[in-house]
Structure 1
Amino acid sequence: MINNSRHPIDLETLTRYLTSQKPDIFEAPLTLKQFGFGQSNPSYQIIDAKDRKYVLRKQPPGTLVSKSAHRVDREYHMIKAISSTGKVPVPEVYLLCQDKSIIGSDFYIMNFVSGRIFHDPRIPSLSAKDRNECWASAITTLANLHSLDPSKIGLPNSFTKNLSSHYPRQVVTLNKVHEAQAQVTDSKTGKVLGPIPNFDTLIEFIKTHTPPERVGIVHGDYKIDNLVSISRIVLVIF
């Protein structure tokens, strides 16, 4: 097990798996350390014997409250499909593993990209000119992402069925997540969390104010610290 990690991984098992699956990409020995960020899905940097760097993204350990959350397989397939278009800069992905006997949960591997990550949206470290260019690049990247037709970029069939029913499906998903979370017990107080106040009112409002739909791709958490700045290019991280 690695020691400098909040979510330990059996490095020997991982090394055997990666070097057998992708011997041209991974060469033992490997080193592994967990990033300080990536709270939703724990993320790690891998460095192989040739000093090549990669990122491992995995589901968190334990029982997941929602089946729709922490879908690293969804991240993998989306990045792979988007990369094939050449219109939106994303890391290269190498493999998806859903064999839980390897590290205990689903994970995928992508290329490690060196660059700057800005955690303060004001980006005080940049000049006004560079700051404007950085945000303009972020907006252009998002617009290019929205311009993609999800039915034409090679996504699995399960991703592209029912593309015209986004809002109704989101309402169903919200209800399921809400119901599951309402049953969770607070570890400190021992009390059941219960429903979110006025949640039913919110859902009813969404149902009665559903706008016309246009099928496209959106980023679920598009913000400056989920992007990597490389020179004057913004790289999307999913």
Structure 2
Amino acid sequence: MSKDHPPGLDPERLRAHLDRVRPGLARGPLTARLIEGGRSNLTYAVTDGVSRWVVRRPPLGHVLDTAHDMEREHRVISALHGTAVPVPRTELLCPDETVLGAPFYVMEHVDGTPYRRPEELAELGPERTRRVVLSLVDTLVDLHAVHPVEAGLADFGRPQGFLGRQLRRWGKQLDASRSRELPGIDELHTALDRALPDSPAPAVVHGDYRLDNVLIGPDDTLRAVLDWEMSTLGDPLTDLGLLMMYSGLRLPPGTPVGTTGDAPGHPTPAELAEAYAARSGRDVSRISWYTAFASFKLAVILEGIHYRHALGRTVGADFDRIGALVPVFVEQGLSTLREG
């Protein structure tokens, strides 16, 4: 068996599985490459020379409880296909770990650009940049308008007590990845708990909604929303708070976390909140809490990645610089709460 393939995906084993469960889908030998940019689940581009697909599987090493659930990710994308939310078409789910060493799913390849840096948006110019970023808000409102029961997602989450449960969950995931002192992170967790807002009506939430998790077409339309691993039923304002946090983020050039807020024409976080409120009709007066919560959540995610890197269980570049960013997000969360 050839070893000329990316870690975590053997094209020959994948082709054999496709031939068993979806005969005729692949028409030639498969080749695969790891798609750089993801920091959690692994994403691969796969082709038989004619057709193209994308394969998603969990990371190779340390896996936190409830994270990296391929079945949930596959389910929500399948449910949203055909709604106003643009998502790739799913092809198959494989829970059998003997095929690739972990559960995985296959979906169609969608052409588009994930904008991760202000210089990438700058090539569009201010007007197109503003239009592209505001399209994220339109799509977010469309997502939050999806009726969970009608989409077959009535049992996809437990919205009652969602925010408190989220805080406890991310606190546990932080504990599972603790390998060093992180000044301020427990203070931030406590402050968020003390100021817990009342949630609006529940919705399908993405959980990691930002510009580099969507694909933008050459006509500036949003072609697909990707990376649904954190999706559930819950408080829709968590998605907006995360989008605002990323939009207001200012990090040094070359930082391994993508930021685009410096691009000319990029709407401010306040403008995003105003656009969301106008189109959705939701009250966003407590949005600073949600933005601070987004900072805490990202700090925990990055600390988990830092932990996996320290164990030598990551695939990709720049992981050695992730750990230095965690204190930045802790301080950002604390300052957001103080100023909000």
TM-score band (shorter)?
0.7 to 0.9
Q: SS of the counterpart of 1:38? A: coil
Identity of aligned residues (%): 29
Distance change (3 Å), C-alpha of 1:205 and 1:115: same
Distance change (3 Å), C-alpha of 1:215 and 1:88: same
1:154 correspondence with 2:142: no
Report the equivalent of 2:36: 36
Give me the whole-angstrom Cα distance separating, in 2, the residues matched to 1:151 and 1:204.
34
Report the equivalent of 2:194: 208
1:179 correspondence with 2:175: yes
1:233 correspondence with 2:221: yes
Of the three residues 134, 137, 153, the one matched with 2:135 is 137
Of the three residues 88, 95, 100, the one matched with 1:103 is 100
Any idea what the Cα deviations from partners look like across 1:91-111, whole Å, max 9, x if unmatched? 111111111100001111111
Unaligned 5+ segments in structure 1 are: 183-191
**What are the residue-to-residue correspondences of 1:67-146 with 2, within 5 Å?**
67-84=65-82, 86-121=83-118, 123-146=121-144
1:169 correspondence with 2:165: yes
Report the equivalent of 1:189: none
Q: Does the CA-based 8 Å contact 1:2-1:32 persist in structure 2?
A: no
Give me the whole-angstrom Cα distance separating, in 1, the residues matched to 2:187 and 2:152.
38
Report the equivalent of 2:59: 60
Counterpart code for 1:163? P
Q: Does the CA-based 8 Å contact 1:150-1:215 persist in structure 2?
A: no
Q: Does the CA-based 8 Å contact 1:37-1:43 persist in structure 2?
A: no
Structure whose residues are more often helix by fraction = 2
Distance change (3 Å), C-alpha of 1:132 and 1:178: closer
Distance change (3 Å), C-alpha of 1:225 and 1:121: farther
TM-score by length of 1: 0.83
Q: Does the CA-based 8 Å contact 2:42-2:58 persist in structure 1?
A: yes
Distance change (3 Å), C-alpha of 1:156 and 1:150: closer
Distance change (3 Å), C-alpha of 1:52 and 1:180: same
Unaligned 5+ segments in structure 2 are: 228-340
Distance change (3 Å), C-alpha of 1:171 and 1:119: closer
Deviates more, 1:94-103 or 1:209-218: 209-218
Report the equivalent of 2:206: 219
Counterpart code for 1:97? C
Query: Residue 2 of structure 1: CA displacement?
Result: 4.6
Give me the whole-angstrom Cα distance separating, in 2, the residues matched to 1:136 and 1:53.
29
Counterpart code for 2:114? I
Query: Residue 112 of structure 1: CA displacement?
Result: 0.5
Query: Residue 164 of structure 1: CA displacement?
Result: 1.6
Q: SS of the counterpart of 1:150? A: coil
Query: Residue 174 of structure 1: CA displacement?
Result: 1.7
Over 4 Å off, 4+ runs:
none
Distance change (3 Å), C-alpha of 1:136 and 1:203: closer
Any idea what the Cα deviations from partners look like across 1:177-201, whole Å, max 9, x if unmatched? 122112xxxxxxxxx425x434443
Q: Does the CA-based 8 Å contact 1:121-1:224 persist in structure 2?
A: no
Give me the whole-angstrom Cα distance separating, in 1, the residues matched to 2:96 and 2:172.
26
Q: Does the CA-based 8 Å contact 2:148-2:154 persist in structure 1?
A: no
Report the equivalent of 2:323: none
Q: Does the CA-based 8 Å contact 2:52-2:109 persist in structure 1?
A: yes
Deviates more, 1:127-136 or 1:103-112: 127-136
Give me the whole-angstrom Cα distance separating, in 2, the residues matched to 1:10 and 1:46.
11
Query: Residue 57 of structure 1: CA displacement?
Result: 0.8
RMSD: 2.1
Aligned residues: 222
Counterpart code for 2:52? K
